Amino acid sequence: MSFCCGSDMLLTIAHLNLEETAMLNVPVLFCLACERMAIHPDVEFEFQMLKEYARGDRAGEVDLQPYVNPKARETLYNPANHAEYLRMEHVVKEQIDRALELYSMAQSTGDLVWKEELVERLAALNQKSSRKAKP
């Protein structure tokens, strides 16, 4: 797991459109709070190499999965590790709890900038929590 804006980033598999090429089965990390997305570090090299190959070959579609080393593939492509497999309500609640703990720490240190960042993150997470709660 990686971190973004102090929040956990979650693993998922994405299909990315890169100019004229669709890259399939790309492990990415995304942040629920700020919605930032990043290629998983374990496949960054393979992703960049395949992207350049596809661009040079003018491939319309390429699948990253076969180019990922088998050990990383076992973990990254296991559905039990993906955000879709997790109960998102639980994940959002857990991230809200962590942000509240950090807010308490920021308040005790008197760090106003950190407190403001945490208030923004809590607002974003609260919106996600509210959207999930509606039928």
pLDDT at 95: 81
Instruction: Summarize pLDDT for 27-84 with one digit per residue, the tens.
Output: 999 887 777 889 999 999 999 999 998 888 888 899 999 999 998 898 898 887 776 6
pLDDT at 134 over 50: no
pLDDT at 40: 93
What contacts 84, CB < 8 A, 6 or more positions away? 12
Asked if 120 and 112 count as a contact pair (C-beta separation under 8 A), the reply is: no
Taking phi over 0 as left and psi of -120 to 50 as alpha, with beta for the rest, 110 belongs to left
pLDDT at 48: 93
pLDDT at 30: 85
